Structure formats: structure tokens, C-alpha cells
Copies of this chain bind each other. A is one copy, B any other.
Amino acid sequence: MPDDESEPLTPRGSEPGHRMTARITIRDVAALAGVSVTTASRALNDVGRMTEATRERVRAAAGQLGYRPNSMARGLVRRRSFTLGLLTTDTYGRFTLPIAAGLATGMVDRGVSVFLCAGENDPERTRLNLQAMEEKCVDGLIVAGKRIDRALPIEVPQQNVPVIYVNAACPPGAVGFVPDDLGGARAAVTHLVEVGRRRIAHLTGPREFAATGVRAQGWQEVLHEHGLAPFGHAMFGDWSEDFGYRTAQAMFGPDSPAERPDAFFCGNDQIARGVIDGLTLLGLRVPQDVSVVGYDNWEIFAKATRPPLTTVDMGLFDLGQTAGHAMLDMIDGKAVEPGIVRTPCRLVVRDSSVPLPEK
């Protein structure tokens, strides 16, 4: 058939019944501004040489049309997708969620989006996620965990994409960020000493967690520096309310030893809550008789105790944000020191720790 036959009756772009309106491309912008696609691209990216008038004309056209560059096309030629993958095994999200929120909000301001990969601790699904991230050409991978001594159920292959570990085990030579548990513990115990406590006990999670050892060390250090003896040994149990509850009842109940602590530094907020409940049921007053300090500043928990809990905030939101910015540096080729960076924790003083009204 000849080429010059009449146009078909239905124009090609309009597919009735499908409300899809054709996407505006840089070609449309260029046409409206009366320049070539090349010039339009350069104008919008603030590169290349041209009159300021031309540049402005292109900007105006893009604005008028509501043009949004197609990230896939750009990524293809630039070999960057402006996306990150966030890999996590923490189903419950106690730790991952603030990290993820910090990361995502920090990145959106820089034009980078974050893929959420919920691993569910399932190796097969983690493998699937890793594969998806590879196909989506993420510029970097952030591995977030709930334990600083546990790695992923699958090792991330040493690909060509940079990896940062956050609040998780960090293989030698890699870059990692974890909360400064030593500093957090020191701040908590220092506070207890400063409000006049002398017999400070430490209740915490299982010994196998790296975090418990570090926090116990901070507890000991500060006491020694003040010429005080630790009250007994650090008590390693589990992370539950029940552990705090039982221990408090055992230490203050009818058959308990005469020597009793006047303060508890607890390894997390749940233990602290159990301690407070146990003490309260025995008729003791917190903080008049006994001070209690927790760890995590899990607000919905810490604010609901009676009285509200003094506790250590690990700054996980900021941690996520910091890790994100470090990742952008790595992607841009800036040298980032391998090794583990410890980010500061902050003591949040509420009512459970100060026996007398502060001046």
C-alpha cells in the first residue's frame, strides 16, 4: 500500500475507555520552548552553554506543561537510578521503623527514593529481594537490623553496589553505623549518681547480645569513676517485662536480702516497666524509694508507665538519616572510612528517676 494514504479515523494516541493521558516528555517541552531536545535537557539540568533567556524559556515551558523527567530513561543513560534498597530482617519494626523513616525522609529531599525490602528472616525471600534490587539497579544497599551482632540470613554478594550496615552486624572492611551504647549507658548511670543514688543495680537482656555487654560496661565504668561499687553483678535475663517484674519482686519481696538497691538501670524500657510494676505492687514508690531508668525511649511505652520513664533515646531516626547521607557520599565516589561509626544517644529525663524535685 502507498504511504500517502489518508490518516486512520481514530488518532493513534487516544485509547477510549483508558483514561491514560500521554506522558509529557522533554520533547514536548523542547517544542514549546522552540529549542532542540538537547538544549532543553541542558537547560533543565543547569549545564551547558546558552543564553540565560533560552534557559529561562525552557524552564517556563517545563513549568507550564508540568513536565516531570522520566527517571528510568535518565537512569539508563546516567547509570544511576537514584534509588536505594533498605533490607531488613526486623519484622516487628521496633528498631527498623525509625531508621527507615529517617532514611526515607532524609533521602526524598535529595531526590532519592527508598525501596522497602521486608525480609521476614526468610533466606529465600531475602534472596528474592536482593535479586529485585539488582534488577532495579539500586545505587546502594542499606542493611538494617535489630541486633548489632547478627548478620543477614543470607550474605549480600559483594557486588558493584555500595553497602552500609545500620544497627546490624558489619563485616570487616564494610561501613556500619550503630548507636553509641557505651555513651548511652554512661549518661543513664551518671544521671542516677547525680540525683544521689548509690546502690545502682543493672538488669538487662541476654548475655549473648553484644549490646548488653557494652551497656553493662558503661554502668561499671561510671560507678568506678565515682568511687562507687556496682550493686551486685549485672543481671542478664531476657528483654521482657516479666523479667523486670519477677526480679523486682524477688529483690524487694518478703524473703529478699536486707541489702537492697536504690536504683535500677534497665537494658530496655520493657524491663524497666516490669520493674516499676513489680515495685509498685509491693507498695514501693518510684522514684521516691527507688529510681528506675530504661533504655530505648520507646515513647508509647515509656510515657505510659506510672510514673513516666526516664530512658535513653538511641536517636534511630537521625541514625537512618546519617546513614543515608553517608551512602550518597559513597555513591558519589567520595571516600568513606570503613569501620563502625557510633552515633550519640541522648538521655530523656522523665519522672521515674529523680527522687526530689529538681531545682
Tell me whether A118 and B101 are in contact in the complex, defined as CB-CB below 8 angstroms, given that A277-B277, A304-B240 are known contacts.
Answer: yes
Distance between A331 CB and nearest chain B CB, rounded to angstroms: 12
The verdict on A284 contacting chain B, using a C-beta distance below 8 Å, is: no
Task: Please pick, from B23, B101, B131, B160, the residue contacting A120 in the complex, using a CB distance under 8 A.
Answer: B101
Distance between A95 CB and nearest chain B CB, rounded to angstroms: 11
Tell me whether A108 and B117 are in contact in the complex, defined as CB-CB below 8 angstroms, given that A136-B71, A304-B241 are known contacts.
Answer: yes
- Quick check: A115 and B113 within 8 Å, CB to CB? yes
- Quick check: B100 and A116 within 8 Å, CB to CB? yes
**Cα–Cα, bound, A21→B157 (Å):** 13
**Cα–Cα, bound, A117→B84 (Å):** 12
- Quick check: A91 and B101 within 8 Å, CB to CB? yes
8 A Cβ contacts from A45-97 to B: 68-73, 75-76, 81, 83, 86, 91-94, 97
**Cα–Cα, bound, A92→B120 (Å):** 20
Tell me whether A105 and B134 are in contact in the complex, defined as CB-CB below 8 angstroms, given that A72-B75, A76-B76, A241-B304 are known contacts.
Answer: no
Task: Please pick, from B68, B71, B100, the residue contacting A118 in the complex, using a CB distance under 8 A.
Answer: B100
Taken together, the copies of this chain in the complex come to 2
- A297-336: CB near B (< 8 Å → 1, else 0) gives 0011000101000000000000000000000000001000
The verdict on A114 contacting chain B, using a C-beta distance below 8 Å, is: yes
Residues of B contacting A212 with CB < 8 Å?
Answer: none
**Cα–Cα, bound, A135→B20 (Å):** 16
Tell me whether A132 and B160 are in contact in the complex, defined as CB-CB below 8 angstroms, given that A76-B73, A137-B71 are known contacts.
Answer: no
Residues of B contacting A280 with CB < 8 Å?
Answer: 281
The verdict on A129 contacting chain B, using a C-beta distance below 8 Å, is: yes
The verdict on A104 contacting chain B, using a C-beta distance below 8 Å, is: yes
- Quick check: A118 and B137 within 8 Å, CB to CB? no
- Quick check: B118 and A132 within 8 Å, CB to CB? no
- Quick check: A93 and B93 within 8 Å, CB to CB? yes
Among A81, A135, A280: residue with most chain B CB under 10 A: A135
The verdict on A180 contacting chain B, using a C-beta distance below 8 Å, is: no
Distance between A326 CB and nearest chain B CB, rounded to angstroms: 18
21 residue pairs of the A-B complex, CB under 8 angstroms, read: A19-B160, A21-B160, A69-B135, A70-B137, A72-B73, A72-B81, A101-B118, A105-B118, A105-B125, A108-B129, A109-B128, A111-B132, A113-B115, A113-B117, A114-B116, A115-B115, A116-B116, A242-B306, A245-B306, A274-B304, A281-B281
